[in-house]
C-alpha cells in the first residue's frame, strides 16, 4: 500500500486523495514490518533469513523490516517470536539567502491563527503569553525546500539534528539515511507545515506562527512525490525519541508533527509511537483526507492527538480575507465548519480535535524555482501543525506534562462544534452548503488560549 501526504494543493478546486491498496501475488517480493515479542538476537535473524532478507533493524522497539515473497508472510506471522507482521504500509501526506529576522513574533495575523486564539487582527498581536521558547517540534514530513533560509530564520531550524531517511517497501531496499537531503525537498509540503508552527517571511513581510520561538527539527521520511512507507516513518519517530532519551536535546520538551497517513495501522509505526510517548515526546498527526471513508493512520491510533480540518465562513468574502479580516471574538462555532474532505471517525478510531485546515496560506514551490511562492493549501496536513504548535506552547508552560495530559487539555478546552451546515463562499464567488455530522469534529475547535489557561 502507498500513502500520500495529507494535504491538497488548491488553486481552483480541492482534490480529495484516495487510499489505494495493491494486491500481491504469492511469488511477488513485498516489504513487511515485523514486531517481535522478544529482543532481536542473532539466532532470530538467522532464522528469519531463511524466509527472506532482513532490510533494517529497530532494536529500540524490537522491530525489523524484511523483503520476502508474499507467500511467506503467514509463515512469518506464525513464528513463536513474532508478535505481529504486516506489509509495509504506504504513507502519503539551491542559492541561499538569509531571512533578516530571528522570529516572526510581531508578524501579521492570518485567519487561522486568529481562529485558534493565538493572535488577533494586525501586527504585534500575540494573544497568549507563551511563544514556544525552548521547545523542539520535529516535523516528520518531506523535509524543507533548498531555499528555506529565504522563508525561515536559521535560528529556528535545528540543522544539527535534521535528518533524511529513505527506502522502505521491501522491494525498494534498505531504510537508509541520506545526509543533507532534508534541505533539498522538491515537494514543499514539509516547508508549508513548518511555516504554520513558527511563521515565515512573505517576501519581506513577517507572518506570525503558532509557536514562533519553537525550534523545528526537519525529518524527511517522504520522497519528492510526497509519499513513502511506514517503516521509514517509524525510523523517523524512533530517531526523535532517541534524541529525547539520550539527552541530546537537553531537558527541552519535544513535539512530533506528522501530517501524513494511510489506511491501515502498521505494527512497527505503532511501536515507534508508543516508544516516543513513553520517552515523553508529544505526538500529533492529521486525521486524513478520506471524508466519510474514515480516518488514516497513525492519526486514528488512540494515543495520538489527531486533528480534523475546519474552515471559516469569512473565506473569500474579501480580496485579502486571509489576513485583512478579523475573526470575531469570542470564538463563535457558527463561524466555522468542517471541511468535506476531512476524515470522519469510524468505529475503533479516535478523533480528538479540529483546527484550521481549509485555505491555509504558506510558502510552496511548484517547481525548482529559486523562491517559494505562496499558495492556499487545504487538508488535515495543514490542521495538524496548528495543534502541534499549541502543544509546544503548553509544554513551554509545563515541561513535565505527558501525552495524555496534553491530549486531555486540548480536548477539554475545545469549543464544541455540533453537527450542522454552513453556507460558505467559494473561490469562484459562489456559495456552497457544507454539512457534517458529529463524527467529524472530535471534541470541537481547538483553542490555544483556553488550553494554556487550563494547563497547570
Residue for cell digits 525498494?
172
| CA dist., res. 371 & res. 148, Å (int) | 9
DSSP state of 329: S
Contact call for residues 342 and 291 (beta carbons, < 8 A): yes
Nearest to 190 by CA among 158, 224, 156, 215: 224
Query: 254-258 and 136-141 as β-strands: parallel, antiparallel, unpaired?
Result: parallel
Residues 6+ apart with CB under 8 A from 96: 146, 147, 149, 150
381 is catalytic: yes
Alpha-carbon radius of gyration of the chain: 21
| Catalytic choice (109, 264, 340, 381) | 381
Contact call for residues 201 and 150 (beta carbons, < 8 A): yes
| CA dist., res. 33 & res. 63, Å (int) | 7
Contact call for residues 73 and 32 (beta carbons, < 8 A): yes
192 is catalytic: no
Read off the C-alpha cell for 232: 521509514
Helix (H) / strand (E) containing 133: none
74 is catalytic: no
Calculate the dihedral angle through the C-alpha atoms of 455, 323, 157, 266, rounding to the nearest 10 degrees: 70
Read off the C-alpha cell for 315: 473565506
Nearest to 224 by CA among 262, 185, 279: 185
Nearest to 63 by CA among 362, 365, 266: 266
| Catalytic choice (141, 266, 352, 447) | 141
| CA dist., res. 99 & res. 201, Å (int) | 7
| Catalytic choice (103, 166, 185, 189) | 189
The catalytic residues are 141, 189, 381
Amino acid at each position: 500500500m502507498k500513502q500520500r501526504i495529507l494535504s491538497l494543493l488548491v488553486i481552483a478546486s480541492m482534490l480529495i486523495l484516495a487510499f489505494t491498496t495493491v494486491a500481491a501475488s504469492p511469488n511477488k517480493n513485498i516489504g513487511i514490518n515485523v514486531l517481535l515479542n522478544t529482543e532481536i538476537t542473532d539466532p532470530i535473524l538467522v532464522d528469519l533469513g531463511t524466509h527472506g532478507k532482513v532490510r533494517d533493524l529497530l532494536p529500540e522497539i524490537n522491530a525489523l523490516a524484511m523483503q520476502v515473497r508474499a507467500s511467506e508472510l503467514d509463515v512469518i506471522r506464525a513464528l513463536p517470536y513474532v508478535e505481529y507482521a504486516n506489509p509495509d504500509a504506504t504513507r502519503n501526506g539551491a542559492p541561499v539567502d538569509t531571512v533578516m529576522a530571528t522570529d516572526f513574533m510581531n508578524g501579521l495575523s492570518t485567519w487561522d491563527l486568529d481562529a485558534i486564539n493565538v493572535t488577533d487582527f494586525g501586527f504585534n498581536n500575540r494573544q497568549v503569553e507563551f511563544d514556544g521558547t525552548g521547545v523542539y517540534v520535529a516535523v516528520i514530513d518531506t523535509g524543507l525546500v533548498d531555499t528555506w533560509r529565504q522563508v525561515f530564520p536559521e535560528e529556528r531550524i535545528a540543522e544539527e539534528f535534521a535528518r533524511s531517511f529513505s527506502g522502505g517497501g521491501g522491494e525498494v531496499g534498505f531504510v537508509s539515511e541520506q545526509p543533507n537531503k532534508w534541505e533539498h525537498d522538491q515537494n514543499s509540503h514539509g516547508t508549508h507545515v513548518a511555516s504554520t508552527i513558527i511563521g515565515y517571511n512573505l517576501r519581506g513581510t513577517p507572518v506570525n506562527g503558532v509557536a514562533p520561538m519553537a525550534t523545528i527539527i526537519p525529518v524527511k521520511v517522504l520522497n519528492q512525490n510526497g509519499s513513502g512507507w511506514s517503516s521509514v516513518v517509524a525510523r523517523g519517530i524512533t530517531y526523535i525519541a532517541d534524541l529525547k532519551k539520550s539527552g541530546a536535546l537537553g531537558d527541552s520538551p519535544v513535539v512530533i508533527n506528522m501530517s501524513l497517513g494511510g489506511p491501515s495501522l502498521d505494527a512497527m509505526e505503532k511501536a515507534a509511537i508508543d516508544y516516543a510517548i513513553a520517552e515523553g515526546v508529544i505526538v500529533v498527526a492529521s486525521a486524513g483526507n478520506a471524508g466519510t471513508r474514515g480516518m488514516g493512520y497513525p492519526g486514528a491510533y488512540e494515543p495520538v492527538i489527531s486533528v480534523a480540518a475546519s474552515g471559516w465562513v469569512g473565506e473569500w468574502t474579501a480580496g485579502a480575507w486571509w489576513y485583512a479580516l478579523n475573526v470575531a471574538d469570542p470564538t463563535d462555532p457558527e463561524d466555522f465548519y468542517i471541511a468535506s474532505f476531512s476524515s470522519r471517525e469510524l468505529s475503533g478510531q479516535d478523533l480528538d480535535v479540529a483546527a484550521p485546515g481549509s485555505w491555509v496560506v504558506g510558502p510552496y514551490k511548484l517547481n525548482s524555482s529559486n523562491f517559494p511562492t505562496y499558495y492556499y493549501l487545504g487538508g488535515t496536513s495543514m490542521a495538524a501543525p496548528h495543534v502541534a504548535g499549541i502543544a509546544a506552547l503548553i509544554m513551554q508552560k509545563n515541561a513535565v506534562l505527558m501525552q495524555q495530559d496534553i491530549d486531555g487539555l486540548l480536548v477539554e478546552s475545545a469549543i464544541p462544534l455540533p453537527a450542522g451546515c454552513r453556507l460558505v463562499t467559494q473561490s469562484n464567488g459562489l456559495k456552497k452548503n457544507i454539512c457534517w455530522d458529529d463524527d467529524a469534529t472530535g471534541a470541537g475547535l481547538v483553542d490555544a488560549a483556553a488550553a494554556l489557561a487550563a494547563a497547570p
